[in-house]
Copies of this chain bind each other. A is one copy, B any other.
Amino acid sequence: MNLLALRSHNTALVLDLLRTAGPDGISRLELAERTALTPQAVSKITARLRDAGLATEAGRRASTGGKPRTVLRLVPEAGHAVGVHLDRDELRAVRVDLTGAVVAERRVPVDLGVGADAVVRTVAREARGLMGDGPSGDGLGVGIALPGPLDHTHGVLHRVTGFPEWDGFPLRDALERRLGVPVVVDKDTNAAALGLAVAGEAGSFAYLHLGTGLGAGLVIGGTVHRGARTGAGEFGHQVVQLDGPPCGCGDRGCVEALCLDAVARGDLAGAARVLGVGAGNLVALLDVDLVLLGGRTVAAAAEEFVRGVAAVLDDRARRAGEEAVPVRVARGGVAEGAAQLVLGPVFGRTDG
């Protein structure tokens, strides 16, 4: 690491704290305490940020017997990013400001079967509509989140279930050529988890997404864990019943099969219990602080799922003599998380 890297590291540290503080802002001395830098270093860094238009003064705190602290806050409009959630049947794109707040939104139906070229054109059109024109201005880039196995480091898709023509398609490069701004590609569950992490969830948590399938996004120590091949988070085909009923993947007794079967039978309690067992295995293995549930199927009966999963985790914790890990419903969309794929690095959130 050289001095330039050191500078951007510390700048990102300060920016992240400014973002976390929100519109209320944060004083220089607080920044100094939280970053372990000296007040003078923070003053220099924030002066640069103010010159760049990224930060501004926002009033003062009450005096504690001396000169009152000047409060600084992020300027949300100083930059923006676009996040795209490319799902099997629909595309949702959002434009977010530096704080991650959505300032514009688009939604169009899509059909992955019409071929890569046509879909890329659609994605590019929607993204450009939200980005504004060209690389000039404050557009930082576009993040794309989509299901299925892919390689996030190169932005190449491996397979899109049911559409072999997508195999090995270099989505990132294709879009970068069309848009002229940086593009980042990731799995939908990873993007959702990143969005939740940036939105202030605990340091380590698992986001379990139950929709047409069952997947997970893992956040460990504030960063999304993707694994070497972007394959991490394959939660649905965890075997929890040896020699159980067959699953579409070819194995037997997978959580996804058991869980969705129970949902189909209308046995929500049973589905929640199975999901809870899988979640319990995950919590024990990774020692996360929190489990967040999301996805259409969960949304349809949120209370029931949260209660059922929590019950399993509670039992387990009680037997181990530990405190149970809390279970909650996740708040936040995939497209918002996709935008954070671009914003994250600005605030020092790099790959873990």
Q: Which of B149, B204, B233, B241 contacts A241 (CB 8 A)?
A: B241
* Distance to closest chain B CB from A322 (angstroms): 7
Cβ contact within 8 Å between B229 and A287: yes
Q: Is the CB of A322 within 8 A of B285?
A: no
Interface segment, A50-58, A104-112, A219-227? A219-227
| A339 contacts the other chain (CB 8 A) | no
Q: Which of B240, B287, B315 contacts A231 (CB 8 A)?
A: B287
Asked if B242 contacts A240 (CB within 8 A), the reply is yes
A287 & B204 in contact (Cβ 8 Å cutoff): no
Given contacts A240-B239, A280-B239, contact A204 B220 (CB under 8 A): no
Question: Are A249 and B320 closer than 8 Å at their CB atoms?
Answer: yes
Binds B, one of A2-10, A61-69, A73-81: A2-10
Cβ-defined contact, B251 with A316, below 8 A: yes
Give the contacts of A1-36 with B (CB-CB under 8 A). 1-3, 6, 9-10, 36
Report A218-263 residues with CB < 8 Å from chain B CB: 218, 220-221, 225-235, 237-242, 244, 249-251, 253, 258
Work out how many copies of this chain go into the complex: 2
Checking B2, B234, B321 against A285 with a beta-carbon cut-off of 8 angstroms, the contacting residue is: B234
User: Measured between alpha carbons, how far is A250 from B318 in the docked complex, in Å?
Assistant: 10
A216 within 8 A of B: yes
Q: Mark A123-164, 1 if CB is under 8 A from B, else 0.
A: 000000000000000000000000001000000000100000
Select from chain B the residue with minimum beta-carbon distance to A13: B1
Report the minimum CB–CB distance from A248 to chain B (whole Å): 10
Q: Among B226, B238, B244, which residue has its beta carbon within 8 angstroms of that of A287?
A: B226
Interface residues of A (CB under 8 A from B): 1-3, 6, 9-10, 36-37, 41, 149, 159, 203-204, 216, 218, 220-221, 225-235, 237-242, 244, 249-251, 253, 258, 274, 277, 280-282, 284-289, 315-316, 319-322, 352
**Which 8 pairs from chain A and chain B are nearest by CB?**
A227-B287, A231-B287, A234-B284, A232-B287, A250-B319, A238-B281, A241-B242, A239-B277
What are 30 inter-chain pairs, A to B, with CB distance below 8 A?
A1-B6, A1-B10, A2-B36, A3-B6, A6-B6, A149-B320, A149-B322, A216-B285, A218-B285, A220-B352, A225-B286, A227-B287, A228-B288, A231-B284, A231-B322, A232-B285, A232-B286, A232-B287, A233-B287, A234-B284, A234-B287, A235-B285, A238-B284, A239-B277, A240-B240, A242-B244, A242-B253, A242-B258, A251-B319, A281-B281
